[in-house]
Structure 1
Amino acid sequence: MAFNAPSPPGSATDAGPGYREQHHWQRYQEFFPGSLRVAADNAPAEQWWRWRGSLVHLDRVARPDAPAKVIALHGVGSYGRMLAPYGRLPALADLEFIAPDLPGFGLSGAGASGGTYRDWIRCVRDLVREERARDPRPIVLLGFSTGGRLAYDAAARAEVAGVIATCLVDPSRDEVRRTLAARPEMVRLARVLDLARGPLTMSRVPVHWLVNIAAISNHTQYANLVWADRLAGGGWLSLGFARSCLQARPAVEPEGFDRPLLLAHPEEDRWTPPKLSEGFFGRIGSPTRWASLRGAGHLPVEESGLADLDRAVRDFLDEFDIQ
């Protein structure tokens, strides 16, 4: 069943159509093990959060008696509802689970300017503050894909108990840009975007023109679904947002990061191979753990990788007494 929680401060639950009126997300479920699949009768409750003049969609599985909360963060080319199956992992099943559609993806608007990566950071930090204002339970940020780096950047100046990420890359490096781009030669376009100013930054192009959506999963059918999803890889992205992602410096240098961090990296990630995360991860000054997700692609759906993710998350939460 869907859990109907009290609305967080500033939210509006009647803001408009939600995922009950959208059906594409249900097509992703067949790729997950049966116990993790989400359908209309067990989907998260939907909420709308008023944030800085816009509406942000939230999926929430409310568990008022849970010892902690998890805020799951998607990356470029996906959205919060796509992460709902991960909230059903045994390691997370007893925690409150919240998954926003970050501005510009899913059901959340991006505003006339198209937004920036810095807006994503502000959005997550403000959401953490809202949740902390509701109750004092510890919060863990769980970031997939670009959401991993977002979790790191938001946690650097937010009151969270820990960070779990599936990758941590520095998009300012050409090596990283070549793997993120739809085609390696588009790294030259990235250099043009670095110089873009004014009205050009508001121009919008299909997400899959810029980023390598084909590598989001090692299952071709899954990747094709993301490509065709107008709320995800089939949506549109402003050049200004793309530029802001490429230019994003860490909120704090890794040596100064002070939150426990688990990097649970898909072993067979074709979009951001593990070696791209190693340099950044190795510099982090706080307690860290690395777990390899066997047989898993960038957005893990494989049973072996999900089992490894579940085990790594449980061990991480136990070690740092977060649950």
Structure 2
Amino acid sequence: MPQSYQQQAAWQQLQQRLPLKFRINDQNKPHEYYWSWNDYRVHVDAYPNTKAPAKVILLHGVGTNGRQMSLILGRPLAQKGYETFALDLPGYGLTQYPSKKEIRYDHWVKLVNDFVNEQAQKDDRPIFLYGLSAGGMLTLHVAMQNQHVDGIIGMTFLDQEFKDVQKGTMRFSALSPVLLPSMKAVAHTPLKQITLPMSLVSKMSKLTNDPEALRIMLADKTSAGNSMSVEFLNSYMHYQKPYPLTQFNQAPVLLTQPEKDQWTPLKLSQPVLKQLKVPYRVMSLQNGGHYPVEQPALDQLVKYSDQFIRENLKR
């Protein structure tokens, strides 16, 4: 595995599918470093800025990685004056780990929670979380137990407690009543360490609406071409929140919903939105797919995120 994204071709191929102003070059590339967490060495794309009014931590889903978050939002928000961090969560990107077979979704929650706490200890600037796809719900899972989160931006909020969400995100949705109990049973046996391609168990073919971008991402073992263990999948599908979402009062929420998302349309985020008592807003990203590479969706993602952060800086 390469130590730096400078040594990886996949994201450089992917950014050729993005508008020129969203591409990373030698003059605007992020600072890369590794953050130690338990037995993990977590890769971080950072745009340091001690004078920034806020910090934004970007979280990918189960078909993407941190560098792909830097492309569409991390660097653009840094250009707007924010300090940004895009994490490679265990099992994805360039993050190093002892064994993929032992990674669980709750490790993701704890890791991000600790990263937020560490950033909060450095100074008192507001901290905002952004999450794409499964990363959207991850932002809520973290904020439910972290008092330092000042705002949440999600590109879908997928609560797997709801059957319609399970069916909508799984590849063989008609079999979900059989597959999910079977997965839970297998997760309590040695077979839990079996790894499965994420493209097999999810609708990864709907990750982006650009055929060439999709081909690149599916061939990338650090993002959409990745495999994860049955234990991880089970821990993700059956994650237990610390308390009901109806009691969540930590931070306001912005849903940036791609208009042409063929994987997770707005209706799959509605179960979460209906439970929120905090202020929330839904903004449509015109012409955008699940991982948007299109205009004006990309410009709108940056614009709406920037507006949301500025509105909540003095909350």
Counterparts of 2:181 and 2:256 in 1: how far apart (Å)? Answer: 31
Give ranges in structure 2 of 5+ residues lacking alignment: none
Counterparts of 1:269 and 1:250 in 2: how far apart (Å)? Answer: 26
Q: Quick one: which of 39, 43, 66 aligns to 2:25?
A: 39
Counterparts of 1:271 and 1:110 in 2: how far apart (Å)? Answer: 29
State the 1:180 CA deviation: 1.6
* Distance change in 2, residues 1:65/1:91 (3 Å): closer
* Distance change in 2, residues 1:157/1:182 (3 Å): same
Matched, 1:83 2:69: yes
The corresponding residue for 2:45 is 59
Counterparts of 2:129 and 2:209 in 1: how far apart (Å)? Answer: 25
Moved more, 150-159 or 189-198: 189-198
- The question of whether the paired residues in 2 share the 8 Å contact of 1:35 and 1:88 is answered with no
State the one-letter code of the partner of 1:101. Answer: D
Q: Quick one: which of 108, 118, 136 aligns to 2:106?
A: 118
Q: Quick one: which of 224, 229, 249 aligns to 2:215?
A: 224
Question: CA offsets per residue over residues 38-86 of structure 1, 9 Å max, x none?
Answer: 1344221111111012211111011111111100000002110111121
Question: CA offsets per residue over residues 89-111 of structure 1, 9 Å max, x none?
Answer: 36863100101100111111344
Counterparts of 1:34 and 1:252 in 2: how far apart (Å)? Answer: 44
The corresponding residue for 2:179 is 189
Higher relative contact order at CA 8 Å, sep ≥6: structure 1 or structure 2?
Answer: 2
The corresponding residue for 2:141 is 153
Matched, 1:265 2:257: yes
Counterparts of 1:221 and 1:192 in 2: how far apart (Å)? Answer: 35
* Partner secondary structure for residue 39 of structure 1: coil
Question: CA offsets per residue over residues 162-201 of structure 1, 9 Å max, x none?
Answer: 1000101221333222222233345232231122213111
Question: CA offsets per residue over residues 112-133 of structure 1, 9 Å max, x none?
Answer: 3431111000010000011112
The corresponding residue for 2:90 is 103
State the one-letter code of the partner of 1:114. Answer: E
* Partner secondary structure for residue 6 of structure 2: coil
Counterparts of 1:126 and 1:273 in 2: how far apart (Å)? Answer: 31
- The question of whether the paired residues in 2 share the 8 Å contact of 1:213 and 1:226 is answered with no
Give ranges in structure 1 of 5+ residues lacking alignment: 1-14
The corresponding residue for 1:19 is 5
Q: Quick one: which of 229, 244, 252 aligns to 2:235?
A: 244
Q: Percent identity?
A: 32
Counterparts of 1:321 and 1:54 in 2: how far apart (Å)? Answer: 32
Counterparts of 2:191 and 2:113 in 1: how far apart (Å)? Answer: 28
* Distance change in 2, residues 1:70/1:191 (3 Å): same
* Distance change in 2, residues 1:222/1:252 (3 Å): farther
- The question of whether the paired residues in 1 share the 8 Å contact of 2:77 and 2:302 is answered with yes
Matched, 1:30 2:19: no
Counterparts of 1:297 and 1:186 in 2: how far apart (Å)? Answer: 26
* Distance change in 2, residues 1:166/1:134 (3 Å): same
Output the TM-score relative to the length of structure 1.
0.90
Counterparts of 1:57 and 1:89 in 2: how far apart (Å)? Answer: 20
The corresponding residue for 1:291 is 283
State the one-letter code of the partner of 1:305. Answer: A
Question: CA offsets per residue over residues 132-162 of structure 1, 9 Å max, x none?
Answer: 1222211100111110000111011111111
* Distance change in 2, residues 1:308/1:251 (3 Å): farther
Output the TM-score relative to the length of structure 2.
0.92
Matched, 1:254 2:245: yes
* Distance change in 2, residues 1:203/1:164 (3 Å): same
State the 1:16 CA deviation: 7.2
The corresponding residue for 1:6 is none
